[in-house]
Structure 1
Amino acid sequence: MSCPRIKAEVLWRLRDRALLMRASETPQIPACLRRLAVVLAVASC
């Protein structure tokens, strides 16, 4: 699998999760998303 494809898939999942979290309106959303973003940045090519 190529890097661009992986990144696209990851972005879709991130957006999905962000929408789900916003829907549930949990106070800890920003921290979770920030941690997730850091992990993805490290894992990306």
Structure 2
Amino acid sequence: MTAPTSPTRYQLRIDRVKKIVMEDTKLGDAKALALAVRMVHELDTVPEPVR
């Protein structure tokens, strides 16, 4: 039996963005998740000095 693992920092960021997207739009769970993943990915590609 394996112990439950805690979510990664990446997953926590995805969940936070997904929650905001769902609060401010009429998107469903799957579409909000897809948009959240895309948004977090894009933010991760911004060079550190620009952030």
For the aligned pair, the TM-score class normalised by the smaller chain equals 0.3 to 0.5
Task: Point out the structure with the larger helix share.
Answer: 1
Rg comparison, structure with higher value: 2
Greater relative contact order (Cα < 8 A, sep 6+): 1
TM-score normalised according to structure 2 size: 0.41
